Amino acid sequence: MRIVVTGATGNVGTALLRRLASEPDVQVHGISRRPPAPVPPYDVEWTPVDLSRDGAEEPLTDVFRGADAVVHLAWRIQPAHDADTLYRTNVAGSERVFAAVREAGVPHLVHLSSVGAYSPAVKSRTVDEHWPTCGVSSSLYSVHKADVERRLDRVEREDAGLTVSRLRPALILQPDAAAEIKRYFLGPLVPSALFRVTLPLLPLPKQLVLQFVHADDVADALALVLRRRLSGALNLAADPVVTPQVLAEVLRTRHVPLPPSVLRGLASLTWRLRLQPTSPGWVDLALATPVLDTSRARDELGWVPRHEARRVLSDLVDGMARREGEPASPALRP
C-alpha cells in the first residue's frame, strides 16, 4: 500500500508518519516545502514541492502516480498578515493537489479539514457532519477551510470513481508541536517561562468552549480511513469539552469571566501592532465554532481516542514550558 502525504513534516504529518511506520505493508512518500532530516519518523522517501507555486501540479502528479491514496495535510497558519500567501498555499495549493490526484488516477483522496470549516453554532449542543460548512466570515483560516470544502464537493461531483474522505478535527495538540503552536499563536513576546508559573487568574469569556484531540489520535483515525476507504466527513474530538473552568483547573488557577468584546479588542490591537501573531478572527472562530458530535467516527470507523482532552492540554502546556519540539522537522523544531 503506497501512501503519499503532503505536509508530512507538520503536527499531524509527523504523527501520521509515526503511526504508519508500524504498518509493515505501507510505503510512505512525503511531500514538504522543506524536507526534514532523514531520521525516524522522517526516514521515508521525500519530494520537495511548494504547493503555492504555479505548476506544482506537475511534480505532484509524477509522485502521485501509482499511489493507493493521497493524504492532504499541508496548510499554512502564518504569515497571518499576508492573506495572499496563505491563499496561494491553502486554497490554490489544495486545488493543485486535487487536480494532481485526478490526473494521476489515485483512487482515494483524504483531506484534513477542520472544525473551523463549520458555520457558527451554539455551544450548548453538538453538531454532526451534516452541519453547514460555510465557515466564520471574520476568520481567514475558517474562510479558507470552507472554500476548500466547496472545491472538494466539486471534485466528488465530477469524479465518481474517486473516494473522498475529509476529517474535521477539533484543535490538534501534542508536545512535539509545542514550539510550533507557541510560535504560531503566541509569538516571541510570551516567554516559555510563563508556562512554568501559576497564574493568579485566567480572564476569558465564558463562551470560549473548545474541544481538543491528540495528534496521535488523529493519526489513528487517518490510518483507519486509509484501510477501510471510508468516504465522507468525520468529526474528531476527545472528551471532555473544555470550558474556561476546565481550562483554569488544568492551569491550576481561577477563571474570571471577561466580555468577548474585550478579548477581541485586545487581540485586534496587539495584532495590528504586530505584538503577537493571532488575529482577532481566531477569537471569533473560538467563540463561534460548534461542539462536535463524533458518533460517526466511533460507530462506523471504530475510532476511540486514547488521550483525554484535559491531559492533551496539560501535556501541551508542559511542552511549551520545556520548549519541546521535533528537531528534525523544519516546521516543528524548537
Q: Do 206 and 232 meet the contact criterion of CB atoms below 8 Å apart? A: no
| 3.40.50.1100, 3.40.50.720, 3.30.43.10, 3.30.870.10: CATH of 2-172+211-238+291-305 | 3.40.50.720
For helices 215-228 and 11-20, angle between their N-to-C axes, nearest 10 degrees: 60
Reading the block at residue 34, the C-alpha cell is: 522543506
pLDDT tens-digit map of 218-253: 999 999 999 999 999 999 999 999 999 999 999 999
CA 207 from centroid of its chain's CA atoms = 22
Q: Where are the domains of the chain?
A: 2-172+211-238+291-305
Helix (H) or strand (E) holding 204: strand 202-204
pLDDT tens-digit map of 249-307: 999 999 999 999 999 999 999 999 999 999 999 999 999 999 999 999 999 999 999 99
**pLDDT at res. 194:** 84
pLDDT tens-digit map of 97-150: 999 999 999 999 999 999 999 999 999 999 999 999 999 999 999 999 999 999
Cis status of the peptide bond prior to 240, with omega within 30 of 0: yes
Q: Do 136 and 100 meet the contact criterion of CB atoms below 8 Å apart? A: no
Helix (H) or strand (E) holding 149: helix 140-158
Cβ-based neighbours of 106, under 8 Å, separated by 6 or more: 4, 64, 67, 68, 69, 70, 162
